[in-house]
Amino acid sequence: MKIIGIIPARYKSTRLEGKPLADIDGKPMIQHVYERASKSKKLDDLLVATDDQRIIDAVNKFGGKAVLTSEKHPSGSDRVAEVAKKLDADIVVNIQGDEPFINPEMIDEVVEPFENKSLLMATLMHEVLDESDFENPNVVKVVVNREGFALYFSRSLIPYPRNRIDFHVYEHIGLYSYRKDFLLKLTKLPPTPLERIESLEQLRALENGYKIKVILTRKEYIPLSIDTEEDLKKAREYIKKSK
């Protein structure tokens, strides 16, 4: 299988414009994401998909690959699909452009299940240990069946702990892998009711009857995505402490 990683990076973010170029320890954020993702052992190639020439220039400057896309895409998946359509690939991995501390081994984990030829889409989860995150709508929860396929994703607490026997809460990690043909098909489908209510695009697949394999990651996950100035401050502080 030929596996391509694509990092969607939008310049005009509503909460933090230009965040792919935000400086973190002397490098733009997109460079941190790219350099970490490039350490994956499973990827045959890695690209940035962006709507802005300034991001293209920044990626070229550090020696990465970038492709200019339409400015009109409503989601990162649509941006990834535009690029994937023109690529020779079997599996496409959507790597979030606002997670500068992505663990490259998690990219390997999310493509491993595609040894099953019937699998169309996969993603990751990890256990939430801080109970203050249980009610946090920015922490997206997921529940799975006994075979590890998603039953539902929600910003609400699921499952509700009426009884706490064997009670665990799992956060969805926004790293996706798809068979290329399925990604192109999925992004052509119209948004679905639950997708619009929760503002979670992965629900489109479930509402249309498709299965999503969800892998419990065995790797260290640093749950810090950059959406605000406060997030950016935390990322800079984390880099300093890790040094």
Of the candidates 125, 135, 138, the residue with the CA atom closest to the CA atom of residue 161: 135
How far apart are alpha carbons 38 and 33 in whole angstroms?
Answer: 9
Mean local confidence (pLDDT), 57-74: 94
Domain with residue 180: its CATH number is 3.90.550.10
Q: What is the pLDDT of residues 26-60, one digit of tens each?
A: 999 999 999 999 999 999 999 999 999 999 999 99
Neighbours of 190 (CB within 10 A): 7
Instruction: Give φ, ψ of 94 to 5 degrees.
Output: -90, 110
When mean pLDDT is compared across 54-68, 114-128, 225-239, the lowest value belongs to 225-239
**What is the sign, positive or negative, of the torsion defined by CA atoms of 130, 133, 139, 143?**
positive
3-class state of residue 231 by DSSP: helix
In the predicted model, is pLDDT for residue 220 greater than 90? no
Mean pLDDT value across residues 68-81 = 91
pLDDT of 104-119, one tens digit each? 999 999 999 999 999 9
Count up the domains in the chain and report the number. 1
What does the pLDDT read at residue 74?
Answer: 84
Q: What is the extent of the structural domain holding 101?
A: 3-242
CA distance 126 to 154: 15
Helix axes 76-84, 180-188, angle to 10 degrees: 130
pLDDT at 32: 96
Q: What is the pLDDT of residues 156-205, one digit of tens each?
A: 999 999 999 999 999 999 999 999 999 999 999 999 999 999 999 999 99
Per-residue model confidence (pLDDT) at position 227: 86
Question: How is 24-71 classified by DSSP, letter by letter?
Answer: ETTEEHHHHHHHHHTT-SS-SEEEEEES-HHHHHHHHHTT--EEE--S
Please determine, for residue 243, whether its predicted confidence score (pLDDT) is greater than 80. Answer: no
Is pLDDT at 71 greater than 90 in this prediction? Answer: no
